[in-house]
Chains A and B, each alone.
Chain A
Amino acid sequence: MLAYVGRRLLLAVPVLLGILIATFLLARAIPGEPCRAMLGERATAEACAAFERNKGLDRPVPVQLGIYIGDVLKGDFGNSIRFSRPVSQILIERLPMTIELSMTALFIALLVGIPLGIVAAMRHNSAVDVGTMMFANVGVSMPVFWLGLLLAYFFGLVLRNTWFALPPSGRLSPGMISVPFYEKWGWGLSDGTFPHTVMEFIGNHFIFNAFITGNWELFGNAIQHLILPAVALSTIPMAIIARMTRSSLLDTLGRDYIRTARAKGAIERRVVVRHALRNAMLPVVTIVGLQMGALLSGAVLTETVFGLAGAGTMLFEAITARDFPIIQGFTVIIATGYVVINLIVDLSYAYLDPRIRLE
């Protein structure tokens, strides 16, 4: 098992290196000079030369690449051209928002999608089944940004004076400030040290931070703000998960060992929950792993609609503003997350199906 994890991580190295180089080259293929984007269209040649020397952009591209890979290995993603701040610091500020959003969306998708799929399979060809399949088909066809705007309109305007009103944009209500747990508990970490960086990253998950510090007002407020974007983002994965659960469970319920279980006299619920579900979950886990990319792409659109300052919008802005270091840093981190999630998916196969040996 450990050997398997080790080999998988080793196999990921060439792919990650490829992604690193591809991002680096792609970022430089984007036309337009960062200098003119930063200093304005009418910047003088001298000012531009000084700017490029300052940012290391005047060196040959292979040299830049070599320096960059070396820095990344040391955990240094360089400074953003636009903000003149370390990319890692911007990652720490922006990534938690996106993680909270996509994890909540995934949670909702699983919480609704799997039971829907199970019920549809148990009542095959019934009204529930047909309804679920219709929902699944409409769900995967819905533009995320459209659904987001409609939700904002409905819960933010139509229902604004009712119990169901939800804020249509932002992460917290104006005036609300999230105090990180390490400051509240007076841990006295000094800025810029490694523990401080890690704690800051954790503390920027507002919902988690509010939960552990017991700040229930902020906790509720952050959740209220997260509901609409998370629901919008969860629709497509939810539909896909429901459909996959249904077809996989239907397939499993037709097997011989299920007939045996029924012949023993086990009640239907027990047959489904104890016998069929575990085997039926394998393809669902695969699909969930594949949804991570879709979640991130969807996060760009959802964050744009709901005015959330997350990693998705940051990356989108960086691409349009030609802020190479941010593009590179964010992409590398996201791609690494991908590799890790795929590894977790493969490991969970072995848990779900003991016949699968990890070698």
Chain B
Amino acid sequence: MDRLRRSDRLTVPDAKHLLDRPTGLWRGALRRLLRRKTGVIGLSIIGTLVLIAVLAPLLAPYDPNQVLIGQDGVSRRSPPCVHLFGCEPEIRQHALGLDGNARDQFSRIIYGTRVSLSVGLTTVLFAFSIGATLGAIAGFWGGWTDNIIMRIMDVVLGFPSLLLAIAIVSALGPGLRNTMLAIAIVSIPAYARVMRASVLSIKELDFVSASRALGASKLRILWSRVVPNALTPLVVIGTLGIATAILDAAAFGFLGLGAQEPTAEWGAMLARERAQVFSSPHLVFFPGLAIMITVLGFNLLGDGLRDALDPSLSE
């Protein structure tokens, strides 16, 4: 009996290299991601945006909140003026024109990159960690724990997400931080559901039974066997979730509930000038374009990741 147990222990170090496979999966995934056009385009867009956000003070010709009234030849809502494209030299250059407060729109859009990227990342990190934890607990323990957690998620999913988020923001008061919190709360169920499904299928696999047979504790099995393997689909959902979060935060800015003046947030910038769409379309066009490009970057990366992480899909 004693010998048997010792031999059991001896097999553990031998089996360890088998459990190292996850790194292989990720490295392979990265290689496959870089071979796909969508993934590469998505990564390049996001990389460029991160650079813009980091280098914003160097790239922006003006302070984003500086009111430029009284400068050469410009007034509120001046259209874009680039000398290279035939704008008269006596008017000062403003690549994307001025907004309703005579602030340089180009600089505001540059600084807006910081807002949108941090909104997307923070929101998803928050929702991801809570949702994944709840989903893992529900899937792993099952029974009434599962029932309670998932029924609460059902109720949250029963509301149209944007309206629920609006209600939460109204309860907490408008502002960027509350918007992020609200968007995070309404996206928790998606992560919880995917994590639960993933955990449910993985906990029945042989290597988990092997761990259990070796006497690993429940928590240890969950944390170091099941969760790492269940995370794959969540990475895809999370990347696409960043896109949704940025889009939703912009919608909140548009409805006047999100970022408040003078924060240079694209949705709020667009909303301030929406009544002027017929006279100064540039003030609506460019912030929206910035939102679209950013969201597109994360959507493309998410798509590329989905293909790259699922080897069964590779052609």
- Contact B292 A297, beta carbon cutoff 8 Å: no
- With A149-B274, A316-B166 given, is the CB distance from A141 to B284 under 8 Å? no
Interface check A150, CB cutoff 8 A: yes
Q: Count of A-B contacts with CB under 8 A?
A: 127
**Bound Cα distance A30, B257 (Å):** 14
**Bound Cα distance A303, B185 (Å):** 25
- Contact B292 A145, beta carbon cutoff 8 Å: no
Which residues of chain A are within 8 angstroms of B255 by Cβ–Cβ distance?
300-301, 304, 316
**Which one of A15-23, A175-183, A220-228 contacts B?**
A15-23
**Bound Cα distance A27, B170 (Å):** 9
Interface residue tally on B, bucketed by range: 35 or more
Q: When the two chains form the complex, which single residue of B158, B168, B293 contacts A335, counting CB atoms closer than 8 Å?
A: B158
Interface check B277, CB cutoff 8 A: yes
Q: When the two chains form the complex, which single residue of B154, B270, B292 contacts A138, counting CB atoms closer than 8 Å?
A: B292
CB-nearest residue of chain B to A338? B158
- Contact B288 A19, beta carbon cutoff 8 Å: no
- With A146-B292, A316-B255 given, is the CB distance from A300 to B299 under 8 Å? no
**Bound Cα distance A265, B109 (Å):** 58
- Contact A300 B162, beta carbon cutoff 8 Å: yes
**Bound Cα distance A294, B300 (Å):** 20
- Contact B243 A305, beta carbon cutoff 8 Å: no
Q: When the two chains form the complex, which single residue of A138, A143, A156, A339 contacts B247, counting CB atoms closer than 8 Å?
A: A143
A26, A29, A149: which has the most chain B beta carbons within 10 Å?
A149
Q: When the two chains form the complex, which single residue of B155, B162, B173 contacts A18, counting CB atoms closer than 8 Å?
A: B155
- Tell me the dominant secondary structure on chain A's binding face: helix
Interface check B73, CB cutoff 8 A: no
Interface check B285, CB cutoff 8 A: yes
Q: How close is B281's CB to chain A, nearest CB, in angstroms?
A: 5
**Bound Cα distance A338, B299 (Å):** 27
Which residues of chain B are within 8 angstroms of A149 by Cβ–Cβ distance?
270, 274, 277, 284, 288
- With A31-B171, A338-B158 given, is the CB distance from A153 to B284 under 8 Å? yes
Q: Can you pick out 10 interface pairs between chain A and chain B where the beta carbons lie within 8 Å of each other? A: A15-B154, A16-B158, A137-B299, A137-B303, A143-B250, A143-B288, A149-B288, A150-B281, A150-B284, A301-B251
Q: Which 4 pairs from chain A and chain B are nearest by CB?
A: A146-B288, A297-B162, A141-B295, A141-B296
Residues of A in contact with B (beta carbons under 8 Å apart): 14-16, 18-19, 22, 26-27, 29-31, 137-138, 140-147, 149-150, 152-153, 156-157, 293-294, 296-298, 300-301, 304-305, 315-316, 319-320, 322, 327, 331, 334-335, 338-339
